[in-house]
Amino acid sequence: MEQRAAPVIDRLVVIGLGLIGGSFAKGLRESGLCREVLGFDLDARSRELAVELGVVDRCADTLAEACRDADVIQLATPILALERLLGELAKLDLGSAVITDVGSAKGNVVRCARNVFGEMPSRFVPGHPIAGSELSGVTAAKSTLFRRHKVILTPLKNTDPQALALVTRLWAALGADVEHMDVAHHDEVLAATSHLPHLLAFGLVDSLAKRHENLEIFRYAAGGFRDFTRIAGSDPVMWHDIFLANREAVLHTLDDFRADLDALRAAVDEGDGHRLLGVFTRARAAREHFSKILARRAYVDVMHSNDLVFLANPGGSLTGHLRVPGDKSISHRSIMLGSLAEGTTEVEGFLEGEDALATIQAFRDMGVVIEGPQQGRVTVHGVGLHGLKPPPGPIYLGNSGTSMRLLSGLLAAQPFDTTLTGDASLSKRPMNRVAKPLREMGAVIETAAEGRPPLTIRGGQRLSGMHYDMPMASAQVKSCLLLAGLYAADQTSVTEPAPTRDHTERMLRGFGYPVTVEGRTAIVEPGHKLRGTHIEVPADISSAAFFMVAASIAPGSEIVLEHVGVNPTRTGVIDILKLMGGDITLENLREVGGEPVADIRVRGAQLKGIDIPEDLVPLAIDEFPVLFVAAACAQGRTTLRGAEELRVKESDRIQVMADGLQTLGIKAEPTPDGIVIEGGMIGSGEVWAHGDHRIAMSFSVAALRASGPIRIHDCANVATSFPNFLDLAQRAGMQVQAEGAS
Ligand code: S3P
């Protein structure tokens, strides 16, 4: 809330001194924005109390007296009383007063105003604060009631912009988040999110109470019943008003809900457990998302404070056994192939990071029933290659380039249209690398300028197979085309310029789908099926890499990273660190579900600068940010070439790392396709991760050898790939924490 500000209006009049009107009056009185706050209520006792409690400066005895010389008139009476009140107001000379209201059904308010005034007055700004309490009356008035609550204003075409700005200003002064919305849209949204739940709660309690007149069953009601029916304790008269006022929108949403309820009834009747599970798992995921919105952790807080800052203090060494979360690439693919398989796929060790969760949500949106994740376990009820359903709207993939690129391949062959969108970082990433070859196969794909997301993929195309020589070494492009190839009319083959991760090829085989690999060419034929299977996701070597470098550069360290995937297409980081003098050994080498896995022991070592062999670049593509930190701690110069792909990752990783390292006093010279780093003393300072998870974690590691603290800005996206990074890092001996946390 604003501190006492200079007045912007002389007189605010609040008509109706209940909880909402009283709170509005009290809050604005305290804000100092109005020279005088005057109240009016038909109930004399409420008028007295309002003055006694400091809700208003004074009260008027008649409406006419109240409105004389008013600058703003707030109508806070019950919604069904509004038409009569407006009728009274129409008889008065209101001068140029701005009128606004708080009714929860706006169509009705506008209708009443038109009946009374002939047309909607241009200085009438309809509004609705989404706030309340089970308490009512002026005694419950609270100046903070609207703080961090939404207030929806529903201006019409003829609404005076100055009046709108003034009403917006007043609500904002109370700490509310003001939004503008179309009248009809407001009424539909509120009918669905507020009015329908109240109707159901009132209806359910009454129905049960009627059936069991002695109310005996309520003795056995537990928390679920209490939570579900809490709102049946709301004010009956107010709600009766609301349903009468918002009749059409309520009926509309109620009819939709009845159809869904009938479908659920049929599922119970027919013993259709699959359908029930589908509804329940989707609802649970949606509810988790809603809880974040309700707790303001989604959207609102992210907007206000997307600058999650990591504070990494210098020094320390690492010890102990650590298991980092599941492999991101394999987690994505387990959901994609599990969804396209026939039968059920059980996944263990699944990465519960935002990127992999985005892939789960995408398939849920396309009708796949997916249970979990719960402690890394996911059950995917496959629908077969041709069983996906059109999603209800655009598919939002957050920060996840892998989801977008791989999905575009399989969506190009579906009978329905899809639109793929992402966050600010993903929206800048190049998609022509998949759109172009997919178009050659017959796909119809629209992109934003320069091949950026969103992608709109037109369904119903017949894809033909093709041979594609990839211009860049990209596992995402290769995988995208192989997935499209499952649906093509004939063979699809992809040749890569250098080996890239081969999880798609391995996992397709694990699902019983034949893939031929000849040298650097992977080949699929259409006409086979995927069969549900069991997948154990190993720990992600890309996440383990932060601890490999951390233990290497912090003297006296010794750690064992357990159950890490060591697929030879991913182990470039180990090879590079060993070339730099790292002390790394693989123990217990074994194969789990078609992927090699090992425990990796890392001890502190004096590293030396090297020329990184170019053939290792694609095999360590995600690990370079942290390898640059290793280079900064090494003796001598490290040179990287042939890594221009780093410029189009979640950030331009060459530039962003060079900037940060230079800030910390390290000589780091970016080149078009790499970087030259001179080992030296790392200083302290402020660096920016630019929303790139791997940059944030890399600078956290750098602090081990820094002379003072490093503050790292924009770290929220660490949750995309390594949600428990801070926890594990602290446990291992690093002194890094989110700023503000103790
Ligand atoms: C990935 C491939 C790589 C990698 C990304 C995951 C995958 O991208 O950087 O984090 O799962 O296929 P490119 O294919 O663009 O190199």
The domain segmentation of the chain, as residue ranges, is: 9-181, 197-271, 310-319+540-738, 328-536
β strands within 350-441, DSSP E: 369-374, 377-383, 395-396, 418-421
* H or E element at residue 251: helix 247-269
Residue 738 near residue 328 (C-beta atoms within 8 A): no
Among protein residues, the one with the nearest Cα to ligand 1's atom 5 is: 402
Among protein residues, the one with the nearest Cα to ligand 1's atom 4 is: 622
Report the alpha-carbon distance of residue 136 to residue 383 in Å, rounded.
Answer: 52
pLDDT for 548 beyond 80: yes
Q: What is the pTM of this model?
A: 0.84
Condensed to tens digits (0 to 9), the pLDDT of residues 172-188 reads 999 999 999 999 999 99
* pLDDT value for 6: 83
Residue 31 near residue 5 (C-beta atoms within 8 A): yes
Q: Quote the ligand 1 centre to 649 CA distance (angstroms).
A: 9
Among protein residues, the one with the nearest Cα to ligand 1's atom 15 is: 474
Q: Quote the ligand 1 centre to 390 CA distance (angstroms).
A: 27
Residue 621 near residue 475 (C-beta atoms within 8 A): no
Instruction: Put residue 363 in one of left, alpha, beta given phi > 0 → left and psi -120 to 50 → alpha.
Output: alpha
pLDDT for 218 beyond 90: no
Q: Quote the ligand 1 centre to 728 CA distance (angstroms).
A: 24
- Band (298; pLDDT cuts 50, 70, 90): very low
Report the alpha-carbon distance of residue 260 to residue 215 in Å, rounded.
Answer: 29
Superfamily the domain 310-319+540-738 falls into: Enolpyruvate transferase domain (3.65.10.10)
Has 389 been labeled as part of a binding site? Answer: no
Condensed to tens digits (0 to 9), the pLDDT of residues 553-571 reads 999 999 999 999 999 999 9
Condensed to tens digits (0 to 9), the pLDDT of residues 491-530 reads 999 999 999 999 999 999 999 999 999 999 999 999 999 9
**From the alpha carbon of 479, which atom of ligand 1 is closest?**
12
Which CATH code for domain 9-181?
Answer: 3.40.50.720
Domains 310-319+540-738 and 328-536 are alike in CATH topology? yes
H helix runs in 9-141, sequence order: 19-31, 44-52, 63-67, 82-90, 106-117
* H or E element at residue 468: strand 467-469
Condensed to tens digits (0 to 9), the pLDDT of residues 616-673 reads 999 999 999 999 999 999 999 999 999 999 999 999 999 999 999 999 999 999 999 9
pLDDT for 2 beyond 70: no
Has 476 been labeled as part of a binding site? Answer: yes
pLDDT for 132 beyond 60: yes
- Band (213; pLDDT cuts 50, 70, 90): low
**Mutational pocket test of ligand 1: of 329, 397, 717, the residue with most ligand atoms within 8 Å of the beta carbon:** 329
Mean pLDDT of 454-475: 97
DSSP string covering 271-302 = T-HHHHHHHHHHHHHHHHHHHHHHTTTTTHHH
Fold (topology level) of 197-271: 6-phosphogluconate dehydrogenase C-terminal fold (1.10.3660)
**From the alpha carbon of 475, which atom of ligand 1 is closest?**
14
Has 328 been labeled as part of a binding site? Answer: yes
- Band (26; pLDDT cuts 50, 70, 90): very high
**From the alpha carbon of 648, which atom of ligand 1 is closest?**
15
Q: Quote the ligand 1 centre to 476 CA distance (angstroms).
A: 5
Has 622 been labeled as part of a binding site? Answer: yes
3-state secondary structure of 469: strand
| Residues annotated as part of the active site | 622
Q: Quote the ligand 1 centre to 370 CA distance (angstroms).
A: 24
Query: ω before 672 within 30° of 0 (cis)?
Result: no
Mean pLDDT of 449-470: 97
- Band (295; pLDDT cuts 50, 70, 90): low
Has 26 been labeled as part of a binding site? Answer: no
Among protein residues, the one with the nearest Cα to ligand 1's atom 13 is: 474
pLDDT cut 70: percent of the chain above it = 97
**Mutational pocket test of ligand 1: of 327, 335, 434, 476, the residue with most ligand atoms within 8 Å of the beta carbon:** 476
Amino acid making up residue 178: V
Q: Quote the ligand 1 centre to 401 CA distance (angstroms).
A: 8
Has 122 been labeled as part of a binding site? Answer: no
Report the alpha-carbon distance of residue 59 to residue 72 in Å, rounded.
Answer: 15
* pLDDT value for 593: 85
CATH 3.30.1490.190 fits 328-536, yes or no: no
- The mean of the pLDDT values for the chain is 94
The total of other beta-carbon atoms located within 10 Å of residue 219's CB is 7
DSSP string covering 606-623 = --B--B--GGGTGGGTTT
**From the alpha carbon of 477, which atom of ligand 1 is closest?**
14
Best-predicted range by mean pLDDT (199-213, 215-229, 715-729): 715-729
Residue 524 near residue 513 (C-beta atoms within 8 A): yes
Report the alpha-carbon distance of residue 341 to residue 357 in Å, rounded.
Answer: 19
Report the alpha-carbon distance of residue 335 to residue 107 in Å, rounded.
Answer: 45
Q: Give ligand 1 pocket residues (Cβ under 6 A).
A: 329, 402, 474-476, 479, 501, 621-622, 645
* pLDDT value for 302: 44
pLDDT for 304 beyond 70: no
* pLDDT value for 419: 97
